[in-house]
Structure 1
């Protein structure tokens, strides 16, 4: 459907059926249709007609200009940056065959109890708010915004308690999204002594409404990398040539991304044959990165999306007599902690019913929590083997987010003997 261009104030005359309106693109003088809809015009827009781009079917291109378009199309293969290293943080391939021990509530309880004993105080509750993050209580913010701000304020509070919230650091935000966590870290450090400050944001997806512009041109050296953590070699990132200590941060770093981030921080490129058989010995932070790792604070989530190949706690699982198959079972059941089927409202004093022979909803939630604890315990053990004091903390209440566990770590103080 079309209307004369003169009746459309210079806008395209093509009617977009899906949106029930005319195209809003401005047309060239003397034309009725924009370049995207030029096929509707006699002569195909004066250039042999338009065809679907072979690199991306979501847009079209003038047939006679195809060769030039392919050289600049945003969907073309681009040269890999220097810091791209295929699968550098992926871990060793998964064996094809595994045996599965019987996973029952009793066996899971026993394994989680053993994990708790090794962790000491496995999950404490400590909501530590940064004093410079008062926006969390601003009544002008909506409920969703307040929940995000409370999480960010608590993460900053834990960084501050560990002595990590200071200048003279490079904060690496994994799974940065819009970059709000880095934004509040920067805000919290305003007015501090004029030491160098760096922000490195890592995000594999294209993100709208980023807050990156608030960092540029100020008192911070800033860079955003559009790359999957799995392929990121931090030793090749130009910003890190300043050799500042690294602080890894992340808010709801989903599933395997947490393990990839830990590998990225603590490991350099593996040598051939290094990962055969037993899980590899880990490299020290100073060997992996010029500035070393000063610490980290990663808010965890989506354990059902963890993968054995990437998981950093495989040695911990092996010590418990567990392997890839049990790991897979724990990942699946971990989702019960936050999205299990809830029981219908019950009369007072009534028994909580199970569903189809499965444990009751409350029991499924407890099982899911145990599975999460087991998976996170392996991460804590990994960090302790690197010489760090690591712990798990419920950093906000479940009403703010059910995924409310924060993994923190700072270097272990040297013993008096050394």
Structure 2
């Protein structure tokens, strides 16, 4: 008689009891255990990727040879553009401002101390983007799947950066997208420049190695000559030294774009772009490069006091504790869960962006704020053009 196989599903006691956000882990567990190998807190955890290993020996072997995050970091450290923590400021010294002031008083102090930033109007959409909008919008037969609101945001950022571009041979322009993710913004900007018979060098950077949607298209454009070159850097913005990129030494126009750079990433991008602009200005042969920076700021609630924006613009007026009380309020009024007190949220976001613009105007930029879209509440971007005649701080190396 054939054995009867019990095909009934495992009981809940035989499943992992880990419940992240109410979800159920489907992995089985060993007899007598409550968690699977991936969620057993008693097992040592890899500090880089979070994988839990059997014991200390397995952890050492994993970190040495198998951890994918560690391997990617080793590859990045061998690149010519890598410089550990190059865009991070030195540790901030403590100030003597009391920390017991109420939030309304802190906001009033900043509004009085910070000058109102110049605001500019978003330009009209580029005609080149109108030609490709039907093919690259959210259509069934599109090769690039994108929601219409994202296309609207990218089109506005490209218009702010490229509206005044004119081809100038023999030097080629460069497009740099920071926090690129899928790199759609860089792809749109590169397509506009190629339609103007000015194929650019394209550089995209992001911490993650997933969602490389536009890379295949950009590499195909490189092989056909539609763009001059394509490079992707997988690293943190704190470690990206753009001064070491060889193709930037011969570019006469550099467009640095960032769509929804979260928290301190916007400040790291501003500082890295400033170092690049000073380097290109100091080593210019004939005509210095025209550098345009367009950053769509995002998630200001994640900002910390480890930035030049705080150290040089906010620190003389408020303490780190008061700054830590302001940043959570930046999330107010952005979605249904945090729709209370939208005026306070707008006020806090404007103060942080005003400090960024003030720092940029004091360090060689002609910067302004711009409302670049109406399809999302996070709709403020910083538009800046390098103007070396405004340099006042010679300590930035």
Unpaired stretches in structure 1, ≥5 consecutive residues: 1-15, 21-52, 61-65, 269-281, 344-360
Which of 143, 146, 149 does residue 147 from structure 1 map onto? Answer: 149
Cα distance change of structure 1 residues 177 and 171 upon mapping to structure 2, 3 Å threshold: same
| 1:72, distance to aligned residue in structure 2 (A) | 7.5
Mapped contact 2:257–2:294 kept (Cα < 8 A): yes
Q: Determine if the alignment matches structure 1 residue 208 to structure 2 residue 211.
A: yes
Please report how far the alpha carbon of residue 208 of structure 1 lies from its aligned counterpart in structure 2 after TM superposition. 2.5
| TM superposition score normalised by structure 1 | 0.66
Using the TM superposition, give the Cα deviation of residue 367 of structure 1 relative to its aligned residue in structure 2, in angstroms. 1.3
1:158 is aligned to 160
Alpha-carbon displacement from aligned partner over 1:215-261 (angstroms, at most 9, x marks no partner): 22133211000010101111223443544442210110111001101
- Report how far residue 301 of structure 1 moved: 0.6
- What's the Cα RMSD here? 4.0
Task: Check the 8 A contact 2:183/2:212 in 1, yes or no.
Answer: no
Change (3 A) 1:55 1:200: closer
Q: Quote the Cα distance in structure 1 between the aligned partners of 2:159 and 2:48.
A: 47
**Aligned 1:7-406 pairs, distance under 5 A:** 57=51, 74=68, 77=71, 78-79=74-75, 80-81=77-78, 82-95=80-93, 99-100=98-99, 102-105=101-104, 107-109=106-108, 111-112=110-111, 114-115=113-114, 117-119=115-117, 121=118, 123=119, 126=122, 128-134=124-130, 135-136=132-133, 141=139, 145-163=147-165, 168-193=172-197, 195=198, 197-216=200-219, 217-219=223-225, 220=227, 221-267=229-275, 286-287=281-282, 292=289, 294-318=291-315, 321-339=317-335, 341=337, 361=340, 364-397=341-374, 400-406=375-381
- State the match for 1:39 in structure 2: none
Counterparts in 2 of 1:317 and 1:164: CA distance versus 1, 3 Å: farther
Q: Could you tell me which runs of 5 or more consecutive residues in structure 2 were left unpaired when the two chains were aligned.
A: 1-14, 17-24, 28-45, 55-59, 391-397
Report how far residue 174 of structure 1 moved: 0.3
Q: Is the 8 A contact 1:396 1:404 kept in 2?
A: yes
The structure carrying a bigger helix percent of its residues is: 2
In 1, Cα distance between the equivalents of 2:106 and 2:90?
28
* Inter-CA distance 250–190: structure 2 relative to 1 (3 Å threshold): same
Q: 2-side partners of 1:111 and 1:55: how far apart?
A: 39
Moved more, 329-338 or 94-103: 94-103
Distance 1:136 1:151 in 2: 12
How far residue 207 of structure 1 moved from its aligned partner, in angstroms, is: 1.6
Q: Is the 8 A contact 2:156 2:372 kept in 1?
A: yes
Q: Provide the aligned length of Structure 1 versus Structure 2.
A: 327
Distance 1:293 1:101, change over 3 A: farther
- Provide TM-score, normalisation by structure 2: 0.69
Whether the aligned pair in 1 keeps the contact of 2:167 and 2:196 (CA below 8 Å) is no
After superposition, what is the alpha-carbon deviation per residue over 1:139-172, rounded to whole angstroms, capped at 9, x for unaligned? 7549971000000111111113354898832111
Aligned partners of 2:87 and 2:240 also within 8 Å: yes
Match of 1:355 in 2: none
